[in-house]
Chains A and B, each alone.
Chain A
Amino acid sequence: MSLALPAARRGSAPMRRAPGRRRPIGVKAAAAALGAAVMFWTLLPIYNMLLIALSEDGDEFTGTVWPSHPSFEGFEMIWSGEHWYLRDFWYQFGNSCIIGFATMALTVLIGSLASFAIGRMGLRKAWLIGNASLMTYAVPGSFLAIPFTKLMHIYGLTDSLLAVIASQVAFASPYAILILHQYGKLIPLELDDAARVDGATPVQVFLRIYLPLMAPALAAVATYALLLAWNDYLYQYLLLSSPRSMTVAAGINQFFDSDEAPWSYLMSVAIVFSIPPIVVYYALRHYMVAGLTMGGVKG
């Protein structure tokens, strides 16, 4: 098999039918019905988010199913920061972005270095490191939260974004190494060998051959790491305490300190908070599918 990376195969869907044969109308109708059902299932909670965000404060749960008087008050409040729940929103949003994008960058960097060393440098017993990394998942993050929090005090990383980033990188890396390692097998080792014969150093092979050819998998891993950090609540809640070092996820939790919080503002916050990962996913989506190959056809 030459360099037939899945990316190159996009568009040549395996479900090709013989030319000239039309899909029967019944199959088309069934596909359309399934598509509609899937969309209904997917979009209902998202519609509910918008519905609450566009309600007037105090009218969130009055039983309307259509925003007849849409109010953008929540979004205006976020912009102006006048409500006290929203005073530090932009700090928190910045912190969420720092954590998310730092996790993304570090996971890609650390994961690609490790997978290159494990898969392509001929190190004996290097697979042991790949296996050990998977042992991370034997103790889920939520179970590790207690010792982790205590340790961060010992490391002197209380109320520090670094502690959260470290936790997210630690959990994202094993999967990143797995995906990168599997994808790397699609790239012939002969390419590395040829470059070495021409006198390239390992660093040059890594930068000039490995990274460019791994682009789809790197994009998949980057998206995965960003979303992991964006989905996290527990570590951000436990490790960050002051209002301006908090993240949006931890900040949202503060709304629950009172029973009469402005829920429509909360949902507006949630919607603004959701934009960065959606944008990143949307930008990288063409690579995602190609890059996620996890040993698909290896029987």
Chain B
Amino acid sequence: MSGTQQVIGLHRPAAIGRIWRPPWQGGPRGSDFSWAVAFLVPYVAVFLAFVLYPIAFGLWLGGKPKSYAELFDNPEYLTTVVNTLLLVGVGVNVKLFLAFLLSGFFILPGRWIKGLLVLYMLPWALPALPAFLSLHWMLIGYGGFLNSALETLFGIDGPIWFNSYGLAMGANILAYIWKWMPFWTLVFLAGRMAIPRDIYEAAAVDGATGLRRFTFVTFPLLANLYLVSTLLSTLWTVGDFTTAYFVSSGAPALMTEVLATYSFRMTFDYGYVDLGLAAALSALPVLIPVTILLIRRLQATEVQL
């Protein structure tokens, strides 16, 4: 891989910068150093005041072992964990896989495809709350749009979606995919557009076209982007609140809640702050390794560049 990259000159400044460094870049000195620090101050201040301090505060508040024991005995909590894993495992992977395929569709030349892309991005540009309310109302059993349409067009009696665990969970996952797939399609589209054309031309000379071009050229080049996207999307989805809260609202009988909504209900509806915090913090043993993996993957690409 790195051989190819050298040939086509993909790897650039970092290496040059390392060999030839102008005098002021042996680590900045004097006023340059002050400027660098000044540029970093706003972000560091935000990070300390609104991320690190709340996290530390949360860990301190939620550090009681008793509430964890109570939590793990609660069958509701276990359902919640399973649901969260389903949303992340199925939702994130199906979404990214479809987004990856669709990015291949949207990169095709043609004005109508560019036009379609603008419409296709609408779910991402729509605010989550109204979009999910619309999906909820689309699926309600009586008078919901989907069942009415099924009835009018085909004479089929649609199911009462939110009365069944499977259908309600499925509705949540589909709504989640509907809302977030466009964004990741755009990310993969950006990745595909960054592949220089000469690579494809060279591959075509070697006989790699069609499916073989995808397997041996496009996918290997985008594999790292795909992995980074999976990790980032996982982190963003474990704490997803709006989907489960507005699409199924936990129906039937609070069986389709996820960690975020469970923690919210425990804390703000029932006033069990300890339990709510414990439920949220119980995801950390999964989230921290994923974050570290993400950072390492990003670092790895940095070294290669």
- Against A, the Cβ 8 Å flags (1 = close, 0 = not) of B152-177 are 11000000000000000000000000
> Which residues between 286 and 305 of chain B lie within 8 Å of chain A, taking CB atoms?
287-288, 290-291, 294-295, 298-299, 301-302, 304-305
A12 lies within 8 A of B287 (CB) = no
Known: A65-B145, A231-B128, A299-B1. A138 touches B264 (CB 8 A): no
Please report whether the interface of chain A is mostly helix, strand, loop or mixed according to DSSP.
helix
User: Complex formed: what's the CA distance from A294 to B236 in Å?
Assistant: 17
Interface flag for A167 (CB, 8 Å): yes
Shortest C-beta distance, B144 to chain A (Å), equals 7
B130, CB-defined interface residue at 8 Å? yes
B138 A45 Cβ-Cβ under 8 A? yes
- Chain A residues with CB below 8 A from B47, complex form: 132-133, 136, 170, 173
Could you tell me if B264 and A142 are in contact, using CB atoms closer than 8 angstroms? yes
In this assembly, does A44 line the interface, its C-beta being within 8 Å of a C-beta of chain B? yes
- The dominant DSSP class at the B interface is helix
Q: Are A45's CB and B131's CB within 8 A? A: yes
B222 within 8 A of A: yes
**Considering the chains assembled together, what is the distance between the CA atoms of A14 and B204 in angstroms?**
12
Contact call B39/A116, Cβ cutoff below 8 A: yes
- Residue-wise interface mask of B (22-34) relative to A, using a CB-CB cutoff of 8 A (1 in contact, 0 not): 1011111000110
A108 to B5, CA, bound (A): 32
**Other-chain contact of B46, A117, A166, A267 (Cβ < 8 Å):** A166
**Contact (Cβ within 8 A) B229 A146:** no
Contacting pair A297 B10 (CB below 8 A): yes
**Bound: A87/B240 CA distance, A:** 31
Please report which residues of chain A, range 26-74, place their CB below 8 angstroms from some CB of chain B when the two chains form the complex.
31, 34-35, 38-39, 41-49, 51-52, 60-65
A60 to chain B, nearest CB (A): 7
Q: Could you tell me if A42 and B36 are in contact, using CB atoms closer than 8 angstroms?
A: no
Residue of A nearest to B303 (CB): A298
Report the bound CA distance from A21 to B290 in whole Å: 47
> Within the complex, which residue of A146, A170, A190, A291 is in contact with B276, where a contact is CB–CB below 8 Å?
A146
A-B contacts, 8 listed (Cβ < 8 Å): A38-B120, A51-B145, A126-B36, A150-B57, A197-B22, A274-B127, A274-B130, A294-B228
Interface set of A (CB-CB < 8 Å, partner B): 1, 4, 6, 9-10, 12-16, 31, 34-35, 38-39, 41-49, 51-52, 60-65, 109-111, 113-114, 116-118, 121-124, 126-127, 129, 131-148, 150-151, 155, 166-167, 169-170, 173, 175, 177-178, 185, 188-190, 193, 196-197, 201-203, 206, 227, 230-234, 238, 249, 252, 263, 266-267, 269-271, 273-274, 277-278, 281-282, 285, 288-299
A-B interface, 4 closest residue pairs, ranked by CB to CB distance from nearest? A140-B239, A61-B143, A270-B130, A296-B191
